[in-house]
């Protein structure tokens, strides 16, 4: 298979296309006026606990404090695969690039999970809008071509769009064998049929990215 990466970067936007055997398989467009903070990771500080709303305000260095729900703090996550949503051609939807999180109710009150003044590592799951600050989650994720890396949760999952049980088992066994202890990965739909070397290359890239940026992220985010 012949792969080619084409990049075009005029002053107003950047366009990146991945060609596989001469056919566009992925297309990414980023306009200078559209740059936001969605997906950014920050080291923040809890400034206020709201027991009645089961939420907290967190200072992440922006104009407005960010909002953190209790369901985005709890350690136990239900079925990561539920959040693996991809387009018909394997092109990612926005939700897949953002944090993978559970929406089920937490049995532990937020005041038992967080304290004012506590430092927390969080990721932006929803941009600030109007007078509202950003929504954030403590369930961090980094998306690669074949995998989604969840550095703070020990979990291995496979996209539900991979329906073949034998292939799902093969992919899961590869990740369980290779992943660093205490971390998690989700196999994306485009990984179906991919070799162990392909998955290992993506895993190594994501782990290095986390080691270089995520684990030492500053209030400015990454």
- Which residues, including other chains, have CB under 8 Å from residue 127's CB and lie 6 or more apart? 36, 37, 38, 134
Whether pLDDT at 77 is above 60:
no
Alpha-helical (H) ranges within the chain are 94-97, 110-113, 165-178, 196-212
pLDDT at 1: 62
Sign, CA dihedral 34-38-103-77, equals positive
- Which residues, including other chains, have CB under 8 Å from residue 36's CB and lie 6 or more apart? 127
Question: pTM of the prediction?
Answer: 0.63
For the segment 16-37, the average pLDDT, to the nearest whole number, is 78
pLDDT at 38: 83
pLDDT, tens digit (0-9, with 9 covering 90-100), for 96-118: 333 344 444 457 899 999 999 99
- How many whole angstroms separate alpha carbon 16 and alpha carbon 10? 12
pLDDT at 23: 86
């Amino acid at each position: 298979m012949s792969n080619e990466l084409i990049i075009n970067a005029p002053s107003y936007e950047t366009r990146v296309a991945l060609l596989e055997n001469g056919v566009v398989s992925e297309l990414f467009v980023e306009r200078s006026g559209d740059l936001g903070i969605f997906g950014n990771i920050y080291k923040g500080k809890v400034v206020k606990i709201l027991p009645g709303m089961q939420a907290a305000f967190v200072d992440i260095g922006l104009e407005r404090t960010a909002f953190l729900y209790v369901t985005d703090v709890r350690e136990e996550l239900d079925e990561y695969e539920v959040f693996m949503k991809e387009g018909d051609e394997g092109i990612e939807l926005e939700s897949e690039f953002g944090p993978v999180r559970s929406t089920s109710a937490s049995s532990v009150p937020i005041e038992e999970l967080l304290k004012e003044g506590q430092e927390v590592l969080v990721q932006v799951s929803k941009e600030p809008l109007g007078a509202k600050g950003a929504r954030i989650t403590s369930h961090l994720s980094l998306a690669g071509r074949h995998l989604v890396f969840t550095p703070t949760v020990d979990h291995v999952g496979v996209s539900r769009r991979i329906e073949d049980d034998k292939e799902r088992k093969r992919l899961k066994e590869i990740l369980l064998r290779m992943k660093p202890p205490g971390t998690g990965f989700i196999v994306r739909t485009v990984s179906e049929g991919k070799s162990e070397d392909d998955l290992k290359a993506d895993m190594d890239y994501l782990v290095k990215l986390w080691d270089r940026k995520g684990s030492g992220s500053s209030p400015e985010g990454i």
